[in-house]
Amino acid sequence: MLRRDGAFVLAVFLPAVLGAQAPVPVILGFPSSVQAAGLAGAGVALPGYAGALFVNPAGIAPIRVLSVEAGFSRTPDRATYGMAAAAGRLGRFNLGFGIRYLRFPGASPTYDNLSWVGAVVYRYGSIAVGAGGKYVSVEERDGPISRSLTSGLAVQVAFFDIAALALSLQNLGQVRLSGDGLSLPDALHLGFSLNLLDTYSNGRLLATIESVWSEQDRGRTVLGLEAGAAVGGVGIVARIGSGRQPGLAGGLLSNTTFGASLLLGRARIDYAFQRRSAIGRDVHLAGMRWTP
């Protein structure tokens, strides 16, 4: 049963394990973007796009004007997930805002998870320092809504368009707004990405690695690789990622994910697939990104 359905793993199994403890916002363990989902969640060192702020507040620093991003999934088990984010530059600062929402299937005791995120970044040359604030709520189907505020800090070093090194601290402290509060374990993300081909060539080849240490979970490492080609800004990129998934039930979910992107100049259409995901089985995630 648990291996057949990721939604039951996280919505039924986890509450039984945690007992009377504060609710766990499953949505905080989700990939920061559809691209990151295709890389098994390795997104902390993928800077330059709006969705980066969900896991790395400093990740929006390379945005020169504006970046807008969205993603959506509707699973066979009738769970619904959506995300949207926007970020832009203002002088030496970059500002960003995003929302993620997850509605569980009818059999789950949890009705939904909601998270709003805001981030501000200061850039000095190739170094960026970012801070973020996060609102999180968990609504039980026959119970109260638990709401909390938390924060995050990040440092990122970009080596032109070649590589990026990022360190992100998530869920630092908690302010309870309603209910008994939430279980928001501190998490440290360390990631590195490297473009193995010249970014001005027609080829695309990127490798990324991310290690995560969480207060309620043992350390884990995720690897990702994407490759493709583009001519005149139009092309296609395929990706694959592998590594243990987050949370107490992470070992019951698929370690390997797949994805692809259709490049259309400043816009792109993203896709990701995971056999056993936190929001159900055979999950297809689609998204769009525009960075003028």
Domains of the chain: 6-290 (2.40.160.60)
**How high is the pLDDT of residue 17?**
42
Q: What is the pLDDT of residues 5-52, one digit of tens each?
A: 444 444 434 443 444 467 888 898 889 999 999 999 999 999 999 999
| Cα angle value 167/134/159 (rounded, 5°) | 25
Average pLDDT, integer, range 180-192: 91
What is the DSSP track for 79-121?
Answer: -EEEEEEEEEEETTEEEEEEEEEEE--TTSSEEEEEEEEEEEE
Q: Which two tokens stand for residue 148?
A: 């909390």
The 10 Å Cβ neighbour count of residue 95 is: 16
The predicted-structure confidence for 246-261, as pLDDT tens digits, reads as follows 875 556 678 999 999 9
**Which has the minimum average pLDDT: 70-74, 75-79, 264-268, 276-280?**
276-280
In terms of phi and psi (left: phi > 0; alpha: psi -120 to 50; beta: otherwise), the region of 223 is beta
In this prediction, residue 254 carries a pLDDT of 86
Greater model confidence, 148 or 24: 148
Residue keyed to tokens 């359905």: 5
What integer pLDDT is reported at residue 48 of this predicted model? 93
